[in-house]
Amino acid sequence: MVRIAGYFYLGVAALACLLNAARGAPLVPLGLGPRLVAGLGIALAAAALTIAFSRLAERRWAWAQRLTEFFRHKLGPLRGREVAALALASGVAEELLFRGALQPAFADMLGGPVPGLIAATLAFGVLHVGGRALWPWTAFALVLGAVLGWLYLYTDSVLPPIVLHVTVNAANLRRIGRPLER
């Protein structure tokens, strides 16, 4: 499963680079401007808050427990290197596509950075639609997608959104992929 996911995300990253090449944009927009360090700090703080919220939600609400069980069943137990590989592949590829390629493309097409952010956030939410049982995951993805998009706008770099996305995915996959204790 991890190998298939790796190939899928490699394709997503390649698509992002192709879209940027077609627009004449840098293949990977790694802006190293004056807001990058602050953006990385914001990304780490947002990751910590997101992870804390995920854990709190799982302890307090049935919908969050159902989500955890759904993903635990789908993913099965994961070893540390599988967690790292999935978190890195998904976080990097999705951010290259949604923030690094689609958000600026939508901004060009729709006449500004805010419409571009909204369109990319909606597209990110659509990727995370999984049916009625997963609606909280979709809502969560929309909120997080808006934060990721804002970070991209703030820093003009995909690096802070990648750091946030990979960190959240790694922590949540580690928790979800643990073998059940009896």
Q: Is residue 128 part of a domain?
A: yes
Residue 156 per-residue DSSP state? T
Give the mean model confidence (pLDDT) for residues 121-128.
93
Distance, CA of 121 to CA of 99 (rounded, Å): 9
Rounded to 5 degrees, φ, ψ at 35 are -95, 0
pLDDT tens by residue, 64-96: 998 888 888 888 899 999 999 999 999 999 999
> What predicted TM-score, i.e. pTM, was given to this entire model?
0.93
- DSSP assignment of 5-57 equals HHHHHHHHHHHHHHHHHHHT--SS-B---TTHHHHHHHHHHHHHHHHHHHHHH
Residue 132 per-residue DSSP state? G
Q: Is residue 181 part of a domain?
A: no
Which residues, at least 6 apart from 50, have a Cβ–Cβ distance to it below 8 Å? 144, 164, 168
Structure-derived torsion over alpha carbons of residues 152, 53, 174, 124, reported in degrees to the nearest 10: -40
Whether the CB-CB separation of 103 and 131 falls below 8 Å is answered with no
Mean pLDDT over each residue of the chain, to the nearest integer: 93
Give the mean model confidence (pLDDT) for residues 155-179.
94
User: Alpha-carbon torsion 5, 9, 15, 18, what sign?
Assistant: negative
Q: Is residue 28 part of a domain?
A: yes
Cα 52 to chain centroid, rounded? 16
Residue 134 per-residue DSSP state? G
The parent domain of residue 167 ranges over 2-176
Distance, CA of 99 to CA of 8 (rounded, Å): 18
Domain count along the chain? 1
User: What integer pLDDT is reported at residue 12 of this predicted model?
Assistant: 97
Q: Is residue 182 part of a domain?
A: no
Q: Is residue 36 part of a domain?
A: yes
Q: Is residue 146 part of a domain?
A: yes
pLDDT tens by residue, 28-60: 999 999 999 999 999 999 999 999 999 999 999
Q: Is residue 132 part of a domain?
A: yes
3-state secondary structure of 61: coil
Distance, CA of 36 to CA of 57 (rounded, Å): 31
